[in-house]
Amino acid sequence: MKRRHFLAGMGATGVIPVSGCNIFSDKDDDKNESAPFFIDRRMLGETGIEISRLGFGSHLKAEVIAAPENRDRMIKRGFEGGINLFDVYNHSGYNQFKPMGESLRDIRTDVVISLCAVNITSALQAEIDGALTDFHTDYIDLYRLYSVNDERMDIMVKAKEAGKVRAIGIVGHDVGTINGYLDRYGSTIDYIMMILNFHHNKAIILGNHTKRSFTNDYSSLLPRILELKLGIIGMKPMGSDAMIDLAREHSFFERQDINIAQAMLRYVFQTSEIDTVLTAMNSMEEVDTNLDAAYAPALSSEEMKALEELSEIASSTESAYLPARYRWLENWSTRQA
């Protein structure tokens, strides 16, 4: 679908214009239009940090890591298209602090940099200081902990007090863990990062062919987070690469009436409690597809029906569509506190 169709009927209320209009090359006539595009923006909790409802995720394929020039062009396309939130991994072979620091260097004051602290506790302070150097900045906007304890939280608090970090976050992959973090650090942290998508965090009760159901349900957790006035960043809006592969296997990407990837994003956009959602982007086509979803975030009945169909297919496999390392996506409800 062409972007001009996504803009039809859109008003300017509650949206922020992107930085620049003619963001595409002359060779891409279909997208080289003068009309501005808009992505809604929200304040992340009470941090005072304004972020685009669509964020640029950090999970990268090996071929993208090996082609930093292409990655740089994707980053610039995303920024010029209205994204101001960029999440960056430096662990597990990603090593993206330095290249992303260069990509964002000229637009540093216009973007929100989001990082995940993964170094061992004794090296955590050095990681923070090194990130400041790599990103040519005096502060990191959002810094979250994956491994959380009192000592690590104390380091982050001191970094925030020193002006090196603007907002402290934690990431949790199950309701019980997040509730535990809120019990201990709810008055200290500024935001939560957690899974939210059309399949893995909602109760699923199918028809007569149901083999099982699971209740990955945030209904009790979201109000608690909001009561604490914390921001919420959603992740894994498309479930995983395995969910995309499952959709492709069942011809969802061949449908002409919807774009299933955009439907997945729009599902998350309907969750008003979520301030932004991060999704991986590993090609220019993915960047454009995701931008188009953000320009027209409303979820249609046809899209919802397609998501329900895909969710039923995923459930009927009893997690078999997922690789072993991701089976917990459909089982974390059993670990709730």
Q: What does the pLDDT look like over 2-52, one tens digit per residue?
A: 342 333 233 333 333 333 333 333 334 444 443 357 899 999 999 999 999
pTM of the model: 0.84
Q: What span, in angstroms and rounded, lies between the C-alpha atoms of 291 and 328? A: 29
pLDDT tens digits, one per residue of 190-218: 999 998 899 887 533 333 333 344 445 67
The pLDDT of residue 217 is 66
Token code pair at residue 39:
């992505």
pLDDT tens digits, one per residue of 233-243: 999 999 888 99
pLDDT at 277 over 80: yes
The pLDDT of residue 129 is 97
The pLDDT of residue 331 is 63
The pLDDT of residue 33 is 44
What is the fold of 39-239+264-297? TIM Barrel (3.20.20)
- The mean per-residue pLDDT over the stretch 300-308 comes to 96
Under the banding of pLDDT at 50, 70 and 90, the label for residue 58 is confident
